[in-house]
Amino acid sequence: MFTRRDEDDYEVVAPGILMRTLCFGSNTLMTEFRLLHGHTLPMHEHPQEQTGYLVSGHIALTIGGETHDVMPGDSWCIPGGMEHGSEVLQDSVAVEVFSPLREDYLPLAHAAPTPR
């Protein structure tokens, strides 16, 4: 799969938190998050392992009760099932990979039909 940049492809996942799926295969899914200053990604968990890299900005990332001061170039790996969330200290961009595939982040054209 190959994906070109598309500025119109972002979804709001929480107030001030925008996400777009960059690319995916049968086992992994890569996303870009745009995180707007002053907003919070609420604490949550999911079964997928989540590996991330902060491209720009500044966030406070809490993983399993421990808060990390994250700057550009820093990276993380969150085990599946572990509670995590973040506070956005500056407008930020993060790239994250989920494994196994996060079906709820698949573009609609590729999503398997699921009852809601």
pLDDT in tens, the chain (116 residues): 777 777 778 999 999 999 999 999 999 999 999 999 999 999 999 999 999 999 999 999 999 999 999 999 999 999 999 999 999 999 999 999 999 999 999 987 555 444 33
The token pair at 23 is: 């690319």
Q: Does domain 11-105 sit in CATH 2.60.120.10?
A: yes
Q: How far is CA 83 from CA 24, 41, 59, 69, 111, in A?
A: 24, 12, 16, 17, 25
Cα angle at 20 between 5 and 6, to 5 degrees? 20
Does the pTM exceed 0.85? Answer: yes
